[in-house]
A and B are shown apart, each in its own frame.
Chain A
């Protein structure tokens, strides 16, 4: 199934005590003299929180930046959809928070599968992110006295989440987008919207450019630079149905992987416990109901199996508040992986609610009785409104019906402490990298990580590479550029010319179902062994029978989707292989063979305390496993307990 390399991946984590690593490292990194910065060109692919913040900050430093996104405007990146909030260790509520506690919660929340040094840096930088965003005019929620307000999120017992109603991602992204637009005005950043990255150009072993398709004209373009920064988001849409935007894809990351970048921990996928359940087979995506709702909502199912009474008719004594029952100290704020599996456990056992039985209740009755409807409306109004629009039910009157859905991907391209992949000159930021969340991400930590990477980490680390790499000049008709462009063109042509009988969506749905059934909330050896050949078969059928109407000229949305689905078909196989190889349960990766008596994940630290970095061989060939051992010098991995 796979081969194991004997080398160890070098994370380049600096020496010294945890608290001093980042400072010392920044001191030791080479700088680029201000006047020389304008001689360097950097490509940033993606304009979500990670990409916009990186591109704007690099522009401010004086680099020449080209930024790319596939939407018609950089402001529409998927980060815009984040609802609940962003963490920081400000300790404004005076409830015992600290940089160390945020670090500790994140490491523990990730089930001890993340790098200590990265996570500590993230916690250190978290406070500057809030300051930066406030100064940009991000309208964070305030207390009556005008100071910043906080709320709680899963996996923490302190209140450290900053938020803008239920639109935190939108407001943070608009802050970063506006900083980016300002740099476009200064001329330091050139923005290329409606461009899809189709391949990475590697020259003499270093990342030197990209091939993109102009989605409006259909033309392929080559762009050259001294470094390429990938900020292209997560791969949750491998499952077809997810909370991700429709355009989210693995293409950019996968194409870099095919060019030599290692893909780390692809099996770490996060299933979010609170999403609106599937309603029919036409369903095109799933909608998240923010985790912040679990601050005030109580999760329950009937104590009786297959109870058909409406929620209001079920008396208190016949309700099972199973999170509060199983995890008394964290209750409804148990981390996502745990809350999702607990919902699956109840519905599998026949206690689910709603037409399909694949749902549980999230009930605000008690919170409304306690605080009044107005307070609840002020906190969650837009989420309740969204729920009502989709389901036609009023959550002020009856509990929401929710079910877990694919939401976030902790895995991603492997990067070292500098956020550089194993390919020199290729940096990976935000959800696209694997770096900080281990096997499970805590709520409100992705926004923090994207902005930490883009505002603060990359602008410090990239200087060192540019100052020392002594890269030869390349031009756009370099043979490697031409070859990469021709390869992309050939592939597009093949997709159009196949002219089979099935639509791209029908293949994507089928792949998604396979992944959800065999590689979803719970996995086991047999299932994984079964699904790998199924994915291969489906991929073969795809290339024989896909129908992409129209041509490569001009806007062709079927062609865009086809390219993405083709990459998901290759990527999903690696995801399954990684899940099969990891003979343990940790965080979002739950292997049924490895669980405790009461059904909790059982890690196997002796054998699997490492990052799995996969090297690409060829489609359908055995990938090669490179390991990066995880060393815990500050916290001792224990069995996570939220009881």
Chain B
């Protein structure tokens, strides 16, 4: 393995709070190892800022292994950066060239207000789940797990959808700030599995309404979401959502 290092120019969005206007600040960083993760590179920047008496750049992160959905960076205009199926925390510096300028911004979408620097508030996504992204079963109500057989092919489709990490990159990547991919992932998972059938009509109608209420835009099928999605959730789930939605409206019984 080589132990190359990079010299980088970073253009980072700085915003001291929700009310602040915010602007880009430029920092230079040398000796960045190509083995570092992108967030480790930001750690190094922050250590330098602290040593220089400046405030470090705030950014969200937790698991640093691509599963919690906390990291949320626009890197050179791409949600989570240039690698397909990769969160910002799993992106490594070997992906960048020596001398490169990297622009780092928060998710930009009106339902995700900026809290500080690169940190946004994504509670809108939780509220969408609250509107119906579940199976209504209380603890203790369950029958034996094997009483509900699920064909392994269906289970695979459900799992593909369920893999969504709730990061919001699909929203950030979409010019309409649509949350359709996120919503369809949950609708599709639960519509594919027998456990979700009883509530499927109500679920899709309520979740779509909640999405609209939160101010997410409409879906115009540009598939930018799929390209940005670190969990590789496919737009085919949007097609299933649309089918579920039509069914629910056509056969509405209430």
Contact = CB atoms under 8 A, between A and B. Distances in A.
Nearest to A378: B156
Interface stretch (A136-144, A367-375, A598-606): A136-144
B139 A142 contact: no
Interface string B43-65: 11001011101111010111111
Nearest to A547: B50
| Residue from A144, A145, A285 having most chain B Cβ neighbours under 10 A | A285
A17 interface: no
A74 B126 contact: yes
A35 interface: no
B193 A139 contact: yes
A496 B44 CA distance: 21
Given A73-B123, A547-B50, A135 B35 contact: no
Contacts of A134: 142, 145, 148, 195
A527 interface: no
Nearest to A56: B139
Interface residues of A, number: 80
| Residue from A136, A164, A386 having most chain B Cβ neighbours under 10 A | A136
Contact of A185 (B36, B131, B195): B131
Contacts of A142: 149-152, 155
A636 B3 CA distance: 54
Interface in A48-70: 53, 56-57, 60
Interface in B1-51: 1, 16-17, 33, 35-37, 39-40, 43-44, 47, 49-51
A76 interface: yes
Contact of A178 (B35, B129, B159): B129
Interface residues of B, number: 79
Interface string A58-93: 001000000000011111101011000000001010
| Residue from A71, A92, A142 having most chain B Cβ neighbours under 10 A | A142
Contact of B139 (A57, A74, A557, A558): A57
Contacts of B149: 142, 145-147
Nearest to A499: B53
Interface stretch (A324-332, A344-352, A548-556): A548-556
Interface string B61-75: 111111111100000
A462 to B, nearest CB: 13
Interface in A135-184: 135-137, 139-148, 164-165, 167, 170-171, 174, 177-179, 181-182, 184
Interface of A: 53, 56-57, 60, 71-76, 78, 80-81, 90, 92, 128, 130-137, 139-148, 164-165, 167, 170-171, 174, 177-179, 181-182, 184-185, 191, 193, 216, 245-247, 279-280, 282-285, 287-288, 355, 385-386, 389-390, 392, 455-456, 459, 503, 505-506, 547, 549-550, 554-555, 557-558
28 contacts: A72-B121, A74-B126, A76-B63, A76-B166, A78-B63, A81-B63, A81-B68, A128-B140, A130-B145, A131-B143, A135-B195, A139-B150, A144-B152, A147-B146, A165-B163, A170-B67, A170-B165, A178-B133, A245-B64, A246-B62, A280-B36, A283-B40, A287-B64, A390-B92, A549-B53, A549-B55, A554-B116, A558-B50
Given A128-B142, A135-B137, 9 more contacts: A135-B135, A139-B150, A141-B155, A142-B150, A178-B135, A179-B139, A246-B62, A284-B43, A386-B90
Interface of B: 1, 16-17, 33, 35-37, 39-40, 43-44, 47, 49-51, 53-56, 58, 60-70, 83, 85-86, 90, 92, 94, 115-116, 119, 121-123, 125-126, 129-131, 133-146, 148-152, 155, 158-159, 162-163, 165-166, 189-190, 193, 195-196
